[in-house]
Amino acid sequence: MPNSFSDETRRRRSIYLLPNAFTTANLFAGFYAIVQAINGRYELAAIAIFMAMVFDGMDGRVARLTNTQSAFGEQYDSLSDMTSFGIAPALIIYEWSLQGLGRWGWLAAFIYVVGAALRLARFNTNIAVVDKRFFQGLPSPAAAALVAGYMWLAVDNKFALQDHTIAWVGFTLTVYAGIAMVTNLPFYSGKSFALGRSVPFWGILVVVAAFVFVSSDPPLVLFGLFVVYGLSGWGVMLWRIRKARQLGARRA
């Protein structure tokens, strides 16, 4: 028993290369998004945010598959997420359109940053007690996808920034994303899906169809998907309330 405890303690204190390489790639993508936004290359900035999401989704799964989870990796991942999905989206949407709204613009960006920080802090402290099938509040990568996806869609379709409607829609999305991150709305996590599990042949066809669907018009499709996901928490909450009322009525 002492040897087992010692091995577990050593594993928790270790630093593993593979999962942390993905976390570093996530951090680099977030930093790259900020640099490109400062240089006025907003489409590249938005794409970098989505690349950060891919790397962020990989590091945890790789760590679980290879049994290389560590306390260092958890903290490093959280700090990287704050950069890529907290600071970077707020900065690029502010640089792109919100600064034209004056104080309302930077207030919206700050609401988003605070929401991301609180969301990540709560996630770290509640990780052992929440239902792993659902996130508590909108996850920060999805919030970043809402903001960056809207900017990517607007830039790709050459929407006129002189139209204040574009800026106010960005304002609304940014504030909503920031607030949604600190709500108790349940959002499906996807963690119950195991990469190592065998799937039927039609499952591969679904994955191929999804890639084709996204590649048909990435800005529109990705933004649309994350709008649906960003609203799905309300649907799950209403479904739970309705189910609880039905159970209460049966017991009565």
Residues 6+ apart with CB under 8 A from 130: 136
- Name the residue type at position 11: R
Other CB atoms within 10 A of residue 171 CB: 21
pLDDT digits (tens, 9 = 90+) for 156-183: 988 877 678 899 999 999 999 999 999 9
Residue 33 has pLDDT above 80, yes or no: yes
Q: Where are the domains of the chain?
A: 2-251
Average pLDDT over residues 218-237: 94
End-to-end CA distance of the chain: 51
CATH number for domain 2-251, candidates 1.25.40.10, 3.40.50.2300, 1.20.120.1760, 3.40.50.720: 1.20.120.1760
Side-chain-side CA neighbours of residue 167 (13 Å)? 18
pLDDT digits (tens, 9 = 90+) for 38-88: 999 999 999 999 999 999 988 877 877 777 777 888 889 999 999 999 999
